């Protein structure tokens, strides 16, 4: 992972902020498995710790762990971290095995970079150890696969052949084409490969646990763009015996979940302060009524209505 805090102020990314708040809604649903306050939150805090602050203040979670591979920034990270958050200065593949896997955990592996073999290794580490009721969220960049750029510079090997060579042909769906290594199609491919790695590891885990096998259920998939295109896979690990607890979480009732199970696309509308207040005063919209838009573009109004509970105040952009 790159030291992205040198390039990106994570506290000023409105779509990212919306995603954080949506994930808190997911975490809040886990009460059938136990007290939310007793869960452990594991993430990549960087120097901002924005998700840690939100999880602590909105959910009351006190036990939090940050994983940070950039040891050169250790002093700055320690000076900026809020609360008493322990930071593990290791790569995630080395830090994950040492977590308390007997505890309930929210784990958000919020990578800055495109899909890599190390990320797939992390999926296997989590899937091999996760307790029933553990929620895993994985975010990766999906603007363009590095192999696509390599093929543009040197056309002797196609992008998809380079990609398959990096990950192994057994990990890449046979029908995948080079144009699926760019943008949202690349996001969909990345999510599918992450999910398949989890499923493969669970199959190995269940080979010795036949009576109460582990499963992984996708809760939602998210797409957004704050400079770079990003995508997130969110799911829960559970045993067959805990199927009823997962059903009681009722994730489908979260208002941002799509009925067609397609990815949630976070689009931040560009609105003036006056437009923001005009739309906000009409929400939540009463059944059978329409938003009174005035001169507000319909598309921006629709995006605002879909996401207004999750958007931060700095999403208001005046021109």
Segments making up each domain of the chain, as ranges: 4-144+182-265, 269-315
According to DSSP, residue 241 is labeled: G
pLDDT tens by residue, 251-269: 999 999 998 989 999 998 9
4-144+182-265 to CATH, choices 3.20.20.80, 2.60.40.1260, 3.40.50.150, 3.40.50.1100: 3.40.50.150
Tally of residues, the chain: 319
The pLDDT assigned to 209 comes to 81
**Helical H runs in the chain?**
14-28, 50-59, 74-80, 92-95, 117-129, 146-153, 159-167, 183-206, 243-249, 273-280, 298-307
Q: Rounded to an integer, what distance in angstroms lies between the CA atom of residue 147 and that of residue 213? A: 37
Each residue's pLDDT tens digit, 236-248: 999 999 999 999 9
Band of pLDDT at residue 73, cut at 50, 70 and 90 = very high
């Amino acid at each position: 992972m790159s030291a992205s805090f040198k390039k990106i102020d994570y506290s000023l990314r409105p779509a990212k902020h919306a995603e954080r708040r949506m994930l808190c809604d997911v975490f809040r649903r886990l009460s059938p498995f136990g007290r939310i306050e007793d869960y452990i939150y594991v993430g990549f805090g960087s120097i901002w710790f924005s998700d840690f602050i939100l999880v602590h203040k909105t959910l009351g979670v006190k036990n939090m762990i940050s994983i940070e591979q950039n040891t050169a920034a250790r002093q700055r990270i320690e000076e900026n971290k809020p609360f008493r958050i322990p930071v593990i200065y290791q790569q995630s593949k080395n830090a994950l095995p040492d977590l308390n896997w007997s505890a309930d955990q929210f784990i958000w592996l919020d990578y800055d970079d495109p899909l890599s073999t190390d990320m797939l290794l992390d999926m296997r580490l989590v899937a091999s150890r996760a307790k029933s009721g553990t929620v895993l969220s994985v975010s990766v960049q999906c603007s363009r696969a590095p192999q696509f750029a390599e093929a543009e510079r040197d056309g002797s090997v196609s992008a998809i052949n380079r990609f398959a060579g990096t990950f192994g042909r057994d990990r890449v769906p046979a029908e995948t084409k080079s144009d699926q290594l760019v943008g949202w199609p690349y996001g969909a491919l990345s999510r599918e490969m992450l999910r398949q790695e989890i499923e493969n590891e669970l199959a190995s885990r269940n080979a010795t646990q036949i009576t109460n096998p582990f499963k992984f259920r996708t809760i939602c998939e998210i797409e957004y763009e704050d400079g770079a295109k990003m995508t997130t896979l969110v799911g829960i690990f559970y045993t067959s015996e805990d199927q009823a607890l997962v059903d009681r979480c009722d994730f489908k009732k979260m208002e941002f979940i799509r009925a067609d199970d397609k990815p949630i696309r976070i689009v931040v509308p560009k609105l003036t302060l006056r437009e923001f207040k005009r739309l906000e005063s009409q929400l939540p919209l009463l059944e059978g009524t329409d938003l009174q838009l005035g001169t507000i573009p319909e598309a921006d109004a629709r995006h605002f209505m879909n996401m207004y509970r999750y958007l931060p105040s700095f999403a208001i952009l005046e021109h």
